Structure formats: C-alpha cells, structure tokens
Structure 1
Amino acid sequence: MNIAIIGYGKMGKAIEAIAIGRGHTIVLKIDETNTHEFNAENLARADVAIEFTGPHSAFDNIIKLLQHHVPVVSGSTGWTERMPEITALVKETNGSFVYASNFSVGVNIFFELNKKLAALMAPHKNYHVALEETHHTQKKDAPSGTAITLAEGVMESLTSKKQWVNENSSNEEDLVIISKREDPAPGTHNIRYTSSIDDIEIIHTAHNREGFATGAVIAAEFIQDKKGIFGMKEVLGL
C-alpha cells in the first residue's frame, strides 16, 4: 500500500517506521517546510493518507484529501466541531474517512472499559467522578481529544453530568477534566470515582508513540477498500 503522511513530525516519523515494517511504501511526507508538494500530482500516487497535524490545519488538510479522492485516516484533535462538514463531504464524494482521537489499540479497549464502568457506577450517586490527563508540553490542545472521548463515554451513562469543563468546578452538572502538561509524557488518562468510603480508578498510560502509530497504520489498512466514515471501534471490531 502506498501511504502519504500529512504531518511529518514525531508522530509522522513513528507512523513511517511502523508502515515500512508492515510492508508499505511511503510516497509522500508533508511537513511545514514542503507544503508546496501537497498537490494533486503527488496525492495521485497515494492509496491512503494518514493525517496527524494540529487543530488549525487538520480540517483544511482533510478537505483537500477528500476532494482529491484519497482515503483519509486522521488523528488530529481540536477541530472536530466541524465534523458535520467532513461528514457531508464524505457523502458527496463517496469518500473514505477514519477518525479517532486516539488510535492506540489499548486506549480503544480503555474507551469501552470506561463506558462499562460508568454504566455500573450510574446508580451509585454517592460517588463523584473526575478525569485527569497528562501529556508532553508540545501538545497544542487541552483537554486532549482522548479525554473528551472518555468524558463523552462517561456522560452516556451519568446523565446528571451535562457538560465537561477543563477547570475545577463545584457545579454538579459539570464533568471536570484536569489537563497537565509535563515532559516527558506520551499520554496518561485516568477516570476516578471518589466517595467517603472508597475510590475506584482506571488508568491508561502510554509508554511511547508506537501504539498510536500502529493503530493508525492498521486503520489505513482497514479503510483502503471501504467507503464511508469509521472509527476505531469498527477498525478493531470492538
């Protein structure tokens, strides 16, 4: 499979290593120094594009790739309020798109565990729930996309929580997400239920970028011959 990497930073380089190790070819690598190469001629060589950039460029990158009929895997966060526009374009172009706030296989299992725990905790009103996420200082958005996905999973069952907030709050309807930026920290997320009797906590800690990169390449392999919009739940069959 011929892969274009849009966003050739630390994650892009990790994706390149995993993709080559799985027998794929990297036909295009775009970073801030060669955006002029992000054009129709070069994109025509790609079977799929993996896009990991930032919140201010991801949306435009995805639009451009879909308009050029390139299947897209994107892990960029901080832009998803515009997802309805992407959904409409995928339908209009009969395109292919996989989006995940986190491509790690372990994290996606953690998402399902989080939902199950929230459902079990829902009847027990004496517990207070909060989320905390820690990432490296170069991460541009806060809270992380993974933390937002976890919060949404909690709120599916804990209907007393009406919104997540990225600050301390005494409002019982707020689900608090605390964001920390420290080096080195590939990513840690925890969900803690506390009461006067005991605490229950689940934690996922990433040791490096390999898990994220591997999941992104697996998603690229999945999407190559499919049409529509998918997430890692479909990719992994969870």
Structure 2
Amino acid sequence: MQHPVVPESVTHTSVLVVLPTFNERDSLAGVVAAVLDAVPGANVLIIDDNSPDGTGDVADGLASADTRVSVMHRAGKLGLGTAYIAGFQRGLDLGYEFVVEMDSDGSHLPGELPALLNAAASGAELVIGTRWMPGGTIVNWPRHRRMLSRGGTAFARFALRSRLRDLTSGYRVLSRGCVERLGLERIDSEGYAFQVETAWRIERLGVPVAEVPITFVERTTGRSKMSARIMWEAFTNVLRWGVGIRGAREPALQN
C-alpha cells in the first residue's frame, strides 16, 4: 500500500517519534522499522522502563544499527504519562518542531503517520489519530472492549465539555509550540489518563486541533498494560477536572 506523501518540512531535525516501552521485545523492532520506512526523515526515541523481557537490549541494538534511533533507559515502570513527558522534554531540548506519540505494540499503523504529519504541517497544533469518526476503524476488538472505550470517551467528553471525538487515543502529533504552551510541569496523570488530560488542556488553550481517522489494530504480541488502577486514575481525574470546570477552579492554561 502506498503511503500518503510526507510533508517536505519533515527532516531529521523536525520530527521525534516517542515510543514508550515495557515488555515489547517481540514488536519493537518491527514498529521502529515501519516508522522509519513511512517517514524516513523522522527520528525515534525509545523510552524503556527497565523491561524484564530484554526490550531495552533490543532498543540498544536498534540504536546501534541506525543513527535515527536513540534510547532512554529508566530505572523502573514509572508510567506512560511520565514517559511521554520525558520524551516531550527531550524533543524540546533538542529543538524538534513536532513530537509524535505512538504505541510500540503495533496497535498504531506507522503507514498512517504521514497523514497525521500532513495535518500538523497544515497548521494543526495537535493532531489526534481518531478511531471514533468516519473512516476510523478498530480491528480485532471484542464488543465489550468497544463498549468500554466508547463509554469512557463519552463520559470524558461530557465531564470535560469537550468536542474531541477520541480523547483517549494515543496516536498523536504535537507541535513544539503546543507542548511549550501546555506546560509539562502541570500534568499530573501517570497512566493512560495522560491522554485525556493533555487533549483536554490543549483544547482549552484554543489552538487548532485536527482529528484524522485511523485504523487501530489490537496487539498480537505481549500483554496489555491496562489495569484497574490505571482505569481508576483516569475516572477520578476526569471527575475532578470536570468538577473544577463547573466550579471555575481549573488551573489557568494560558501563558
């Protein structure tokens, strides 16, 4: 299948793809290769939380073989949100124009990344790869998983008065200016609630946001990192933010 055309603005100094990993030894190499095939001008930062299955060693091997790949090793499993914050900060420090969020388990198709980058190059400060819109598809999810995801998204949209259709999607492109205005020090979610928190806060900044339909594929290797604790954090945080909105007590978002 032919990839969408990658924007000419994408160079080795403009796009950093951040891939958090924990026990993704079997999928990581394929995902990295597919990303660099789809967007040859991008760089990839793998952030490994001391995976006991040897994912960190795989990441080091990929970095040794290709200068476009680098690795950040962390001491333990510190959470998806903190991994992305570390990756975003690395992107800011090194002067990248865009940072990309992607799963490292193969759920997000690298071939769709050029379409997201095209939307970013056209002026969107945040681009969300959206499942719940015309053209969006989910492959190999049972009915209860679809219902849970749709229900959680509906709850978050209502609580946060959001118009975004996929607040929990983890396939995104953020501009440098968007990350700077977001203020990484303000983010307090460690797990998957990070996706909801950042999307909601960026939406409230009033910057251009685009949603692009994607195909989400259920992982075929490894195990999901979702847990009851992560789901509880997301629920309680969304509830807290929603109450803050209605009481006009939410933290200031404008710089």
Do the two structures share a fold, i.e. TM-score over 0.5?
no
Specify which structure has the higher proportion of strand.
Answer: 1
Specify which structure has the higher proportion of helix.
Answer: 2
Q: Tell me which interval the TM-score lies in, with the shorter structure as reference length.
A: under 0.3
TM-score, normalising length: structure 1: 0.26
